[in-house]
């Protein structure tokens, strides 16, 4: 089953009646709405969505396109991969070309056919999912996690967790039976985190207990025989 977050979108439309109509026609998706650029940016910051449908004529320039194009640029600055579908009555070719040139995914002229819009949203969501999957695979292939070949859902969840915790400045303890791949995951965590220094694996079981501390952290001369 698809992650609900991948089936969400933001609808930006200042005409409240049309806004409700769009939300109803796209009721198969989880959607949030906004009536102007500021509300849209606030909603997108709180709950980023993979797809945005937006009108170009937004307050205070409902009869123009200034606010719409500015919002398009701001959304793409916040998330270069967001798929923005521009809906507008300003359906001249120059606006269409400018929207696409700025990075819009598609351009539909009002009145919009609900079936065409739903199909466009579905295609945008699918493209976003493929891009996310490609980035995830590329990220795994760059480090030690790329050496781990598995189709097991449990191991794939562990790899995704490793990628998430790698961004945090925290100590991580990996537990598991011998031969389950703890060292490979530890090296993947080290490389994904971009930590300075070389990854060093130590077999603690092969070091006598009374020498483990000095082996890891050093010792002073004369602390014990042979030191």
170 found inside a domain: yes
CATH number at residue 111: 3.40.50.2300
77 found inside a domain: yes
96 found inside a domain: yes
Range of the domain at 123: 4-135
Q: CA quadruple 196, 197, 202, 208: dihedral positive or negative?
A: negative
Paired residues of 108 in beta bridges = 87
Backbone φ, ψ for residue 190 (5° rounding): -60, -45
143 found inside a domain: no
pTM for the structure as a whole: 0.60
Do residues 160 and 121 both lie within one domain? no
| Angle subtended at Cα 115 by Cα 89 and Cα 112, rounded to the nearest 5 degrees | 5
Backbone φ, ψ for residue 208 (5° rounding): -55, 140
144 found inside a domain: no
Do residues 182 and 100 both lie within one domain? no
Number of domains comprising the chain: 2
Do residues 49 and 91 both lie within one domain? yes
188 found inside a domain: yes
Q: What is the pLDDT along the chain (227 residues), one digit of tens a residue?
A: 344 344 689 999 999 999 999 999 998 899 999 999 999 999 999 999 999 999 888 888 887 888 999 999 999 999 988 999 998 775 577 887 888 899 999 988 888 899 999 999 999 999 988 888 777 666 555 555 666 667 677 777 888 888 778 877 778 888 888 888 888 888 888 887 777 778 888 888 788 887 788 878 877 777 766 66
């Amino acid at each position: 089953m698809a992650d609900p977050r991948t089936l969400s979108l933001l609808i930006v439309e200042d005409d409240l009646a049309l806004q409700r109509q769009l939300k109803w026609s796209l009721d198969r998706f989880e959607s949030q709405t906004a009536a102007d650029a500021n509300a849209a940016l606030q909603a997108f910051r709180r709950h980023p969505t993979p797809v945005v449908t937006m009108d170009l004529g937004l307050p205070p320039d409902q009869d123009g396109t200034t606010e719409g194009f500015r919002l398009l640029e701001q959304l793409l600055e916040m998330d270069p991969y967001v798929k923005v579908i521009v809906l507008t009555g300003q359906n001249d070719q120059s606006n269409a070309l400018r929207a696409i040139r700025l990075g819009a995914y598609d351009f539909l002229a009002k009145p919009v056919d609900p079936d065409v819009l739903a199909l466009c949203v579905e295609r945008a969501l699918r493209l976003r999912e493929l891009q996310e999957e490609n980035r995830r695979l590329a990220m795994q292939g760059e480090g030690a996690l790329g050496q781990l070949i598995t189709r097991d859902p449990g191991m794939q969840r562990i790899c995704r967790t490793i990628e998430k915790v790698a961004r945090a400045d925290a100590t991580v303890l990996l537990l598991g039976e011998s031969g389950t791949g703890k060292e490979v995951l530890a090296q993947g965590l080290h490389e994904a985190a971009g930590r300075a220094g070389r990854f060093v694996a130590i077999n603690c079981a092969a070091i006598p207990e009374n020498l483990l501390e000095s082996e890891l952290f050093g010792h002073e001369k004369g602390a014990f025989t042979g030191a």
